[in-house]
Every structure is written in C-alpha cells, then in structure tokens.
Amino acid sequence: MKKFGNLAAAALVLGAAFSTTAFANSFSTTGNQPSISQSNWDFNAAPIAALSGTPATAKITNVSFSWGYRTPSYNPNNPTPYTLRATICVAGLCGQTTSTSESGETYWAGKPATSSWNFTFRAVSPQTKTFVGGLSPNGQIRLTVNYDN
C-alpha cells in the first residue's frame, strides 16, 4: 500500500508539471526615437513590430517601456516651459504619458501581442516655437511585452 501511495504522489506531481495552463512569455525590442524640432507638433517614431515567433493567439498581460530626450542647452529662443508627452498606441488603443518609463503597465492587457506599437512624441508648451538645436533622443525606445498564450 505504501508503494502505491508513492506512485500516486509521483503521478500527481508529474500531472501538475505537464498541465495545459497557459505560460507567461515575453519579448523585448527597441526602436528609434524621432528628433523633436518644434513644440506643439507630433513627431512619430517608426512602428515597433512584435518579434517574429510571437504566437498569433498571444494576448498582452502587461508592458514595460522607457524613452528619453536630452535637455537642450539654454537658449532664450527655445519654448519654455515644455513637457514631453508620449502617445503610445497598439491595436487601436492609445494612452498618453509624461513619464519616461513605466513598468508592468496593464492598460493594453488583452490586446494581441503580435500588434505593432506606435510612439508619438510632443513637446507641449504654451508657445509654439522651434527648438534651437532640437531635442535629441537619449538612447532608444525600449519595450518589453509580457503575454499569455
């Protein structure tokens, strides 16, 4: 009887290890940020595609991203003050943020993980002016998409 109990316990452990529940997956990718030359104008980054091999049935659970721009040297002709804003869209759902990074964001949960991501940047200011020297990107857009199959 004891031996049967051990076999039953082993079968339960193996059954749990090979269950059919969905496993979480993720991909990380990068994209180029556009230079921003004027306030109150949209500057679009090239769409960032999901990595090939992402299953067609995959749904987003949460995302993390970061981006940034160098502050231009002081120039009295630059628009001041200004706030950098990103509009991020995937599968027809857009959100806006002034934060240069987010981690574990669930706003896009349930959307297809195979969708392309679109980032649009704007320097929001009470003045519409050209930046002397422009706002140059400080690195790249970094995007991590977590999804369930």
**Is 8 within a domain?**
no
Give the residue with greater pLDDT, 24 vs 89. Answer: 89
**Residue 12 — pLDDT band, cuts 50, 70, 90?**
very low
Total number of domains in the chain: 1
**pTM of the predicted model, to two decimals?**
0.81
**Is 45 within a domain?**
yes
pLDDT, the chain, mean:
85
- Where does the chain show beta strands of DSSP type E? 24-31, 36-38, 43-44, 59-66, 83-90, 93-97, 101-105, 117-124, 130-135, 141-148
DSSP 18: T
Question: At 113, which CATH number?
Answer: 2.60.120
Tokens 């519409």 found at:
128
Contacts (Cβ under 8 Å, ≥6 apart) of 63: 102, 105, 108, 143, 144, 145, 146
**Is 9 within a domain?**
no
**Is 122 within a domain?**
yes
**Is 12 within a domain?**
no
**Is 17 within a domain?**
no
- Give the pLDDT confidence score for residue 4 in this predicted structure: 28
C-beta separation of 36 from 119 below 8 A? no
Residue 112 in this model has a pLDDT that exceeds 50: yes
**Residue 53 — pLDDT band, cuts 50, 70, 90?**
very high
Task: For residue 92, give its domain range.
Answer: 23-148
**Is 125 within a domain?**
yes
Strand order in the sheet with 141-148: 24-31, 141-148, 59-66, 101-105
